Amino acid sequence: MLSSKEDCVFCSIVNGKANQPIRLETNNLVIFDDHLPKAQYHFQCVPKRHIKNAKHLTYEDIPLVVDMINYGRSFVNQLQLNPEDFLFGFHWPPFNSVHHLHMHILGPKQHMSFNPMFDSRFYIFREVSLITIIFLFMSFYNIFLNRPRNYWIVCKTQTLRNEVMLIKFRRHSV
């Protein structure tokens, strides 16, 4: 566990202190069932490091978010379901019920009833594709600030596997 808060329910789950079965675990994240499912399949993908919410992400967290997306899609594939039929996204502050970053994985979309809490037309929920655009902007913004470091850019390209990929840019000295 990289960092945690004692009063955070998701930190308790990540640390194994809560009675919540973990469906998938990596070095940086866990996936488990949502305790109040809003769809036939509803999971939470939670980083092990405590990050308050999506507004607290920085460009340095891009690899973590990409891992969340890729492992979430892979997990849905393991269930022999199509990730294209699922929503992957974050509630946008102040609409968080738990103040620990978590990506909702829910679907199939065609069987979900209307719920504004998971409709990206509202300010409440942001699908991962919108988050990647924000990261893309943040990365270019930092490049143009002329900071001497490596930058990660999130791209949703590979149409065959439809995975989120990382492209590493290195700023050349002038």
Quick one: which of 168, 97, 84 has its CA closest to 129? 84
Quick one: which of 127, 111, 131 has its CA closest to 38? 111
Quick one: which of 155, 166, 151, 152 has its CA closest to 128? 155
Question: Catalytic: 102?
Answer: yes
| Residues whose CB falls within 8 Å of the CB of residue 140, separated by 6 or more in sequence, listed in order | 153
Q: How far is CA 102 from CA 147, 160, 169, in A?
A: 30, 27, 27
Catalytic: which of 102, 104, 111, 172? 102
**Which residues are bridge partners to 56 per DSSP?**
none
Give catalytic residue positions.
102
